Amino acid sequence: MSANPFRGKAPAAAVPRVISEFVLSASGPEQFPKEVDPEIAFLGRSNVGKSSLINALVGQKGLAYTSSNPGCTQAINFYRVGDSGYFVDLPGYGYARVPEARRLEWKKLIESYLLERQVLQLAILVLDARRGWMEKDRDLRRWLEVHHRPCLVVATKMDKLKNQSERQHSLASLRQGADEVMLCSALTGRGVREIWQAITKTRSSQ
């Protein structure tokens, strides 16, 4: 596997291992790392499966924190992936039990990252394949469009759809919100290779 996944070829195996490490957790823009290398950001509702997707992409189970306790991360986590890029895990949104003040903090933190980060190459909006588009996902997608931030929509937890009819129903509703939605499962590794290809394509087109 290339040590430079942002520039090299997409991994051949379904779950490759990419040398990666946690760099820092930032609760404000002043803590963000210096803008040197390209960044791929991951966005989505709490518990949607963002951390698991990051772990599946790097082939390393414990890199990003995964939890069945939604709403617990309120910081932006930076991971060095390969030798010239970062994955950036943005705190999950839409958890009902989070107080309004915390919601506003989330908005401020996320917007400061998404608006000002020059090295941001791609925002990956993660959806739960069983739940499809929720209002906040649509809002965020529109917001990214308005601000000209490239966005890739990924529906994860596909393994939870048990039969053909569930899969077809999910796909139809996912496609109502975006022309292209990539399907994946952190559990089985489905779609990991295709997501890497999309990341590599974005990298080479910029």
Should residue 77 be labelled a site residue for ligand GDP when binding is judged by CB under 6 A?
no
Among 67, 103, 138, 145, which residue interacts with ligand GDP (rule: CB under 6 A)? Answer: 67
Does the protein bind ligand GDP through residue 185 (CB under 6 A)? yes
Within 10 A of 22 (CB to CB), how many other CB atoms are there? Answer: 14
157 binds ligand GDP (CB under 6 A): yes
- Least Å distance between CB 56 and ligand GDP? 7
Is there binding between residue 198 and ligand GDP (CB under 6 A)? no
Nearer to ligand GDP, 27 or 67 (CB): 67
Number of residues that bind ligand GDP (CB under 6 A): 19
**Which of the ranges 18-26, 50-58, 139-147, 171-179 carries the binding residues for ligand GDP, by CB under 6 A?**
50-58
Contact (Cβ atoms closer than 8 angstroms) between residue 9 and residue 89: no
Residue 26 parent element (H or E): strand 20-26
Residue 47 has which token pair? 């518990």
Runs of H (alpha helix) within the chain: 50-58, 100-116, 135-146, 164-175, 192-204
Check residue 200 for interaction with ligand GDP (CB under 6 A): no
Nearer to ligand GDP, 3 or 24 (CB): 24
Beta strands 120-128 and 86-89 are unpaired
- Is residue 48 a contact residue for ligand GDP (CB under 6 A)? yes
Query: Considering the rule CB under 6 A, would residue 61 count as an interface residue with ligand GDP?
Result: no
The span of 23-31, 98-106, 151-159, 167-175 binding ligand GDP (CB under 6 A) equals 151-159
Query: How many residues appear in the chain?
Result: 206
Contact 54, 63 (CB under 8 A): yes
Residue type, 58: V
125 token code pair: 């909006």
**Minimal CA–CA distance to 93: which of 84, 104, 82?**
104
Residue 99 · residue 91 · CB < 8 Å: no
The answer to whether 60 contacts ligand GDP (rule: CB under 6 A) is no
Residue nearer to ligand GDP on the CB measure, 183 or 203: 183
CA–centroid distance for 107 within its chain: 17
- Which residue among 186, 195, 198, 199 contacts ligand GDP (CB under 6 A)? 186
Binding site for ligand GDP (CB under 6 A): 44, 46-52, 66-68, 92, 156-157, 159-160, 185-187
